[in-house]
Chains A and B, each alone.
Chain A
């Protein structure tokens, strides 16, 4: 989280993007001069299936206000099936987060191909707005990680 010079809340968003589709999608968004908020910090992973639930919880602990996981469309995974496993894991994790009473809306999964620069930029804009409206992440943070 940060606060800009106007005292306005700016969320910190962590985006786990798979190397083969979504990261390339983000690249395309850039080279097509489509904008997405600077609040989004991209972490490149080999595959959405690489995203351990702990990565997500850790990101929150260390101050992220929202976490989004982007991977190839089902059926298009570079490793054939990684995103299918990710889909099951994230379904269960998000449901668990909701169950223990932390806001479910702070997490999201989006499938985005290397050709979908526009979708990438739109998704990030939407997600940032959503998180900005939810406000600062309090429940998922760890006091020991505060600066």
Chain B
């Protein structure tokens, strides 16, 4: 991490960039937060460890409007989101200096908390850290394998190559060990009755906090439909009402073809709702009906929903 801080300091000092967008230490050992650093001085709080899951690309929408360049640290998966934002003319590429940071997977604190309560300190989560993470708690020390505490999205990581970067830093490690569409396939194989129960059960937990929307790089509309008081999404309806599902279907639909499957929505949901199951279903359908497409891979590519062919299948047909 020191190497990265040194490099960022140099970039600030020689005037290449006016500020750095990165993560700074949080009030707990496991919650670093996105932050802007305006001087080399401020970088003393900079951190890049296993808990830096937050995707900083959405914050570049505002940061690239500022005077001078902003250096931003992007993990491999974050670079897809950044490309997609370029595609949508939401960020100014010329005002960004992208440092593609290496990644060996990011940690899910909920998994760690399952058998470690009262955490006071966590060590060994840096990029060049150990295979085992040491957790100090008020009840004594615990150890857990780094790979056992990964976020769900890291098990289906799209790869450790940065889709866009001005320079890269750090060695990545492969973490993908699961099929990306496995969960969706499992659901598809159930009966409609079972699926209905499954989603009803999951979605009834939603407290409509809007965190999933606020964090999503694809949800960057200046005026969001869910802020419209006439949408009546602010107040959650009863569990047996369709309104429960409406919010999620509409949100997934609005990002269909643009969602890079960055996994941020599922990561931030305070209720642990597997929101990726909606987005991945759309991605799977798009792949199947309109040809494989990965949003954010190529900033020039046409989104499948703003495109068509004469031979497209008819709605309701099962291809």
User: What is A's interface to B at a CB cutoff of 8 Å?
Assistant: 53-54, 57, 60-61, 74-75, 81, 84-85, 87-104, 107-109, 139-144
Given contacts A57-B249, A141-B242, contact A81 B308 (CB under 8 A): yes
Q: Are B315 and A109 in contact (CB under 8 A)?
A: yes
Q: Which residue of A lies closest to B190 (CB)?
A: A101
Given contacts A101-B197, A109-B315, contact A96 B242 (CB under 8 A): no
Q: Are A92 and B286 in contact (CB under 8 A)?
A: yes
Given contacts A87-B315, A91-B315, A92-B256, contact A144 B199 (CB under 8 A): no
**B142 in the interface (beta carbon within 8 A):** no
Interface residues of B in 179-230 (CB under 8 A from A): 187-188, 192-199, 225
| Residue of A75, A92, A107 most packed against chain B (CB within 10 A) | A92
Q: Which residue of B lies closest to A100 (CB)?
A: B199
> A87 — which chain B residues lie within 8 A by C-beta?
308, 312, 314-315
Q: Are B196 and A101 in contact (CB under 8 A)?
A: yes
Interface residues of B in 304-319 (CB under 8 A from A): 304-308, 310, 312-317
Q: Are B242 and A88 in contact (CB under 8 A)?
A: no
Q: How far is the CA of A45 from the CA of B210 in the complex (A)?
A: 31
Q: Are B316 and A53 in contact (CB under 8 A)?
A: no
Q: Which residue of B lies closest to A105 (CB)?
A: B316
Q: Are B242 and A57 in contact (CB under 8 A)?
A: yes
Quote the shortest CB–CB distance from A52 to chain B (angstroms). 9
Q: Are A96 and B316 in contact (CB under 8 A)?
A: no
> A57 — which chain B residues lie within 8 A by C-beta?
242, 246, 249-250
Quote the shortest CB–CB distance from A33 to chain B (angstroms). 30
Residues of B in contact (CB 8 Å), total 44
Q: How far is the CA of A143 from the CA of B240 in the complex (A)?
A: 8
> A143 — which chain B residues lie within 8 A by C-beta?
237-238, 240-241
Q: Are B253 and A61 in contact (CB under 8 A)?
A: no
**B126 in the interface (beta carbon within 8 A):** no
**B252 in the interface (beta carbon within 8 A):** yes
Q: Are A85 and B306 in contact (CB under 8 A)?
A: yes
| Residue of B187, B192, B195, B197 most packed against chain A (CB within 10 A) | B192
A99 CB contact (under 8 Å) in B197, B281, B314: B281
Query: Can you report 9 A-B residue pairs in the complex whose CB atoms are below 8 A from each other?
Result: A84-B312, A87-B308, A87-B314, A88-B308, A91-B289, A91-B314, A92-B253, A93-B249, A143-B238
Q: How far is the CA of A90 from the CA of B256 in the complex (A)?
A: 12
Q: How far is the CA of A132 from the CA of B309 in the complex (A)?
A: 35
Quote the shortest CB–CB distance from B314 to chain A (angstroms). 7
Q: How far is the CA of A25 from the CA of B224 in the complex (A)?
A: 36
| Residue of A81, A101, A102 most packed against chain B (CB within 10 A) | A101
Q: How far is the CA of A115 from the CA of B187 in the complex (A)?
A: 43
| Residue of B289, B312, B315, B317 most packed against chain A (CB within 10 A) | B315
> A95 — which chain B residues lie within 8 A by C-beta?
281, 285
Q: Are B281 and A96 in contact (CB under 8 A)?
A: yes
Q: Are B249 and A96 in contact (CB under 8 A)?
A: yes
B314 CB contact (under 8 Å) in A93, A98, A109, A140: A109
| Residue of B225, B232, B246, B313 most packed against chain A (CB within 10 A) | B246
| Residue of A81, A100, A103, A108 most packed against chain B (CB within 10 A) | A100
Q: Are A144 and B237 in contact (CB under 8 A)?
A: yes
Q: Are A142 and B237 in contact (CB under 8 A)?
A: yes
Q: Are A99 and B187 in contact (CB under 8 A)?
A: yes
**B282 in the interface (beta carbon within 8 A):** yes
Q: Which residue of B lies closest to A53 (CB)?
A: B253
